[in-house]
Amino acid sequence: MHSLYEQESNTSGSNEIKRGLIFDIKRDCSEDGPGIRTTVFFKGCPLSCIWCQNPEGGSKQPQLSYQKSLCDPDACETACIKACDDNCLQLTTRNKIRVDHNACIHCNKCVEVCPTHALETVGYWIDLDELVYRVCIDKPFFNATGGGVTLSGGEVTQQMEFAGEFLRELKKQGIHTAIETSGFFNYRKFKEYMLPYLDLVYFDLKLIDNSESRKYTGQSNTLIKENFKHLIEETGLTVVPRIPLIPDITTTKENLNGIADFLRSLSVDNATLLPYNPMWQDKMEKLEMHSDYKRKTLMTEQEKNNCIIEFFNKSDHV
């Protein structure tokens, strides 16, 4: 079992191999910072938001994803079941595959023989040099558009040392760097490992009430608010607060007004509202995860306008 940040000696003993756990690298991203960007998604998150947009980023280990609509056991003659040595896969009466996620050891044998890609591995270990190489391929686009690399997740600060090494290598290449964070991290370590190599931070502020935060994200918001305050008051870093709009949870008058008041108290005059997107529920189904939050539709224009009016009218500065 690997830790989220792995550092081990190679066979020659001369250098160290540094590896991190990621689940995606997306290119040509236009919403994760200025210019054209490449976004790297890290696995592992300390929060358990019931509306998580990237549920595949929550676990601290690789996972097996199964899309039932693509599965055709007759076509492949249940090759996946035959390939699995740990009996993690079974054929149901509906001629589909049942996955025992608790028994899966992520050997990938079933994934390798699945012809329809119904089975896929979510998350893989990658060496630091390999990751730097992959994103630097896009450097001409960064230079032409003022873009760069954004680290997202999951929660990238769960892999603080590896992420810091990665950021440092990017800065050596003259690449603009950004992260998207929940704000739930050890500030002392963040200041040491990541802060010196960052140009921009997108910082989520979800719920202003502590009991609501515990209820819907699984964690207190005290550390989140303290970290936001540290970044605003102690650094010259560009920090953009973002408020995910989750109908009936974060979109209440009390919550939007409370976040606006919090930002105003720190003289913060910019914020981004992120309208709800239900696409995360398809990912949950593939991973056989469950949530009590069931809304399946996008926000209406009226709902979004109501949030804008409630939030931005609260303060002349936010």
Backbone angles phi, psi at 159, to 5 degrees: -120, 55
Tell me the three state secondary structure of residue 61: coil
Predicted confidence at residue 282, as pLDDT, reads: 92
Q: Is residue 19 within 8 Å of 162, Cβ to Cβ?
A: yes
Q: Is residue 112 within 8 Å of 86, Cβ to Cβ?
A: no
CA pair distance 127, 17, nearest whole angstrom = 7
CA pair distance 308, 301, nearest whole angstrom = 10
Q: Is the pTM of this model over 0.85?
A: yes
Q: Tokens 């936001």 map to which residue?
A: 228
For residue 43, the one-letter residue type is K
Predicted confidence at residue 4, as pLDDT, reads: 63
* Cis-peptide into 154, omega within 30 deg: yes
Low-confidence ranges of the chain (pLDDT < 50): 1-2, 9-15, 315-318
Predicted confidence at residue 2, as pLDDT, reads: 43
Longest dimension (CA), the chain: 65
Predicted confidence at residue 86, as pLDDT, reads: 87
Helix ranges (H only) for the chain are: 73-76, 79-83, 109-113, 128-136, 139-145, 160-172, 187-193, 210-217, 222-234, 253-265, 280-286, 301-312
Q: What does the block give as tokens for 193?
A: 């490992």
Q: Is residue 246 within 8 Å of 299, Cβ to Cβ?
A: no
Element (H, E) at 38: strand 37-42
CA pair distance 203, 77, nearest whole angstrom = 48
Stated length of the chain = 318
**Domains within the chain, CATH numbers bracketed:** 5-60+125-312 (3.20.20.70), 65-122 (3.30.70.20)
